[in-house]
Amino acid sequence: MLIDFRKHAKKQTTLHDEIGDLIGAIKKQKKERFDFWYLAVGEKIGKIAAPTFKKHGVLYVTVVNPVSRFELTRMKQEILEKVNGILDENKKLKDIIFK
């Protein structure tokens, strides 16, 4: 989805709306890509910890604050088992890194 900035030279509100829609679409796509995470951890943890990317079987998760990151790190093995229970055999995670 490309935005033609010349078209919006005098209509900043329209450009603002398009950028907002684009950001919303990106967030929705990211949530759909990592739907297994939200199924495994639930709504409460899903609000404070969001997956950023997956590389070589390691899921990188951004957490809103250090206290929550500490608690999730303590629960890592339990979360890893729940996530791997949802994933196919060839997509299982080796580790989760909370940042």
The reported pLDDT for the residue numbered 79 is 96
Q: What is the DSSP letter of 12?
A: H
Give residue for tokens 């495994």.
40
User: How far apart are the C-alpha atoms of 86 and 37, rounded to whole Å?
Assistant: 9
Output the average pLDDT for the chain: 88
pLDDT digits (tens, 9 = 90+) for 52-61: 999 999 999 9
Reference 72, options 99, 32, 93, 92; nearest CA is 99
Where b means 16+ CB within 10 Å and e means fewer, 48-87 reads bbbbeebeeeebebebeeeeebeebeeeeeebbebbbeee
Q: Which residues contact 28 (CB under 8 A, 6 or more apart)?
A: none
The reported pLDDT for the residue numbered 13 is 63
Check residues 24 and 27 and name the one with the higher pLDDT.
24
pLDDT digits (tens, 9 = 90+) for 35-51: 999 999 998 999 999 99
State the pTM of this model.
0.73
Domain ranges of the chain: 35-98
